[in-house]
Structure 1
Amino acid sequence: MTRHTRLAAVWAAFLLAHAVSIALGWLWPNQPMGDTYLVYEPWSELALSGQAIMGVTDPWVYPPLALAPMVLAQTLVWFPTYPLAWAVLVAIVNAVAFGVLVGRGSSRPRLAAGVYWAAFTAVLGPIALFRLDAITVPIAILGLLAAIRHPVVAGALVGAATWIKVWPAALVAALVVSVRGRWRIIAGGAAVSAVVIAVVSLAGDAEHLLGFITTQGARGLQIEAIAATPFVLGAGDATIAYDTEILTYQVSGRGVVEVAAALTPLMAVAALAVAAAGVWRIRSGSPVVRVLPPLALALVIVLIVFNKVGSPQFQTWLIPPLVLWIAWDRARAWGPALLALIAAALTHVVYPVTYHLILMSDTLATAVLGARNVIIIALGAWAVIRLIRTPTPS
């Protein structure tokens, strides 16, 4: 197979994965596209009409830059529905990052990383595209790929992604720990942050700039969160109820409040421990190409494991560090990558396919959810072990 044939096949896999995931958004139950037309579309309409700019004039659960892609999807007026416009917007942003990743097809590891990204998108299904997180994934991939040669650009890209959804902050930490040009990464992120703060302040005021932190801090334990697994399986005589303010299903019962309160400090401790392990390996002389991928993956999984939320789109956070790992060190990346694919497949079964059964405490459906959560923990342990075993010069 020639280089051009391989490249064409990889692009075909990318396009097919997106087409299938978009189509399943209309076919599967439990509203896999729900966020797009129930919240993104109304929020963007409010902003365009001047009634309310979420995160600027009104408190919001997201960082203020999250409104940009929602409004941008409104400008794609030649599509009949907002969900379709959103899906096309995500596909376009993904295609830009995918093109940078695979290039002209001369690097087989990068082609393999592209195939993996396409496979992950297909396996995870519509949730890989119809959520705000889908916009941050390609931006984060571009940032990671630019880390060594263009650290300022990397910092700016990952910083921008963090102002859309908070999770890329884990990648910022991994880059600062492992990349030699860390001050340039910080400078790039700081420049983007300064622009966002200035725009928000000029458009309204800075009162709601960090509202997404305080809003999230008051929420309960979502049923899909890893810490909620024992309660979903029956511990504490827990029950499931819908929170109309946060717009999600949460558990309540004996011990739930205590567990939820402990998660944030535990997340901080775990993140510091993983970052310290990364500092130790870098100072011991381990090369950045061996440290950054497992470090980034481990930090991302810390955010998932110790989160009070367990939304299915969190699985997309695994894509950037795994794509980077395959592109840089695919021999050691395939084990974690395959385990993550299994987690994505189980997540697809959980949501949207059997979500209504989980709400009814169906034994098989909740068992699938529990198995997915166990796999995520195992994947995090694998990433940490890989990190602490990175080689050093003899």
Structure 2
Amino acid sequence: MARAGLWVAFAAAHMWAITLGWLWPNQPMGDTYLVYEPWATAALTGGGVVGVDSSWVYPPLALAPMIIAKTLVWFSSYSLAWAILVAILNAGAFALLLGRGSSRPRLIAAGYWVVFITLLGPIAIFRIDAISVPIALVGLLLAARHPRVAGALVGVATWIKVWPAALVAALVVALRRRLSIIWGGAVVSLVIAFVVVAAGGSENLLSFVAEQGGRGLQIEAVAAAPFLFGLGGAVVEYSYEILTFQVTGSGTQDVSDALTPIMGLVMLAVCVIGAWRVRQGATALRLLPPLALALVATFIVTNKVGSPQFQSWLAVPIVLWIVWDRDRAKGPAVLTLVIAGLTQVVYPIVYQQILETQTPALLVLAARNLAVVALLVWAIVGVWSARPQPSSSTLVV
């Protein structure tokens, strides 16, 4: 009965988020029909394949779901086709998460994911990140028993959107069978690279790295907050090259340039702490969930972009943490739900007011960003305090 009820809730959450895509202001579905559909159409009609014929802001595999959504010809709306594709992928991950419905931690984790999607709203559906989330989640759920498959799946997700690279790092640090993780990811990467190069895209295979490196400071980024409140006389401007709003003014470019090396240093420090805990005897049960969350949160907090859909990534390590060690996951899980709810307020509800730098809206954005920073600190403390697993404990997989 609980399993059936969760499936009903899963369907309702997706219908709710999809419906809000049509109701909320500021085009929460905009990327699907304004950006993804034209890219897919061009690839299917000989108009050029982004990531192969030209440089692209995303890894090359990101085009695949865009094309798949375009080929769902029985839907007159590309946005609806995209939403159905996301729902199908989420349903696959949800089914694996629930299993036979006999595990209480898995039932709780499944219910949590439903609530998270409901609170995050349409941004949980209508972005390319929504494709990578269920694939990465399945990879983490399979990591304990099938590390090679996990490495392959997380590798696929990384070639769609870069953020799952943080999960790869966490898996390599925390699991004893780390070579299997590396092997699975390497095979996937070689196959994708071969296909792109064979199609004539060798020059653009890694163009997404350069494209990201050249971006300015996006308004939702944590580091952008002081500038939104007037530091350096900064103003909000739209970048037609990157298709996003950025802050420009005295000091903004310096901060933007500094964030990428800061991200690398913080991630390295978190991995070093994780490796130290492994040497002290901490097992994957205690270490992997907070380590994965810390690395994903670092990717968000130190990012020069900070798009609202980035918060969808947080569900992946939190769901794993609930499945494996739900008592220690309670605090971070609740805080992550607060982040999801605030993010839906930020975008799309008060996004226009943020663009106009109205103080109430900026305070909501600042509160959301402070919550993500707090989550990062919480996760790092969780990594630092990870202890060896008691002999009586069992890993739920």
TM-score range, shorter chain: over 0.9
1:196 and 2:192 matched: yes
**What residue number does 1:330 align with?**
326
CA distance in 1, matches of 2:331, 2:215: 35
CA distance in 1, matches of 2:389, 2:287: 14
Residues 67-146 of structure 1 correspond to what in structure 2 (within 5 A)? 67-146=63-142
Which residue of 209, 223, 230 corresponds with 2:219?
Answer: 223
**What residue number does 1:387 align with?**
383
TM-score (norm 2): 0.97
Count residues in correspondence.
390
Deviations 1:259-278 (A, max 9, x none): 11110111010000000011
CA distance in 1, matches of 2:12, 2:379: 30
Query: For 1:315, what is the secondary structure of its paired residue?
Result: helix
Which residue of 346, 349, 354 corresponds with 1:353?
Answer: 349
2:286–2:388 Cα contact (<8 Å) kept: no
Structure 1: which 4+ aligned runs deviate by more than 3 Å?
A: none
Deviations 1:58-102 (A, max 9, x none): 110000000000000011111120000000000000000100000
Deviations 1:112-148 (A, max 9, x none): 1111111110000000000000000000011001111
CA distance in 1, matches of 2:278, 2:5: 37
**What residue number does 1:310 align with?**
306
1:343 and 2:339 matched: yes
CA distance in 2, matches of 1:378, 1:114: 24
Which residue of 50, 54, 60 corresponds with 1:58?
Answer: 54
Q: CA deviation at 1:167?
A: 0.2
Amino acid at match of 2:236: I
CA distance in 2, matches of 1:120, 1:217: 31
CA distance in 2, matches of 1:198, 1:80: 34
Structure 2 stretches lacking a partner, 5+ long: 391-397
TM-score (norm 1): 0.98
Which residue of 260, 263, 267 corresponds with 1:267?
Answer: 263
Amino acid at match of 1:318: L
Amino acid at match of 1:53: V
CA RMSD of aligned residues (A): 0.9
Which residue of 260, 273, 276 corresponds with 2:272?
Answer: 276
Query: For 1:93, what is the secondary structure of its paired residue?
Result: helix
**What residue number does 2:45 align with?**
49
Provide the identity percentage: 61
Deviations 1:314-353 (A, max 9, x none): 0011011000000101111011011011011111001000
Which residue of 229, 232, 248 corresponds with 2:244?
Answer: 248
Amino acid at match of 1:247: L
Q: CA deviation at 1:205?
A: 2.9
**What residue number does 1:184 align with?**
180
2:51–2:201 Cα contact (<8 Å) kept: no
CA distance in 1, matches of 2:110, 2:78: 28
CA distance in 1, matches of 2:226, 2:133: 30
CA distance in 2, matches of 1:292, 1:215: 31
Which residue of 5, 10, 14 corresponds with 1:9?
Answer: 5
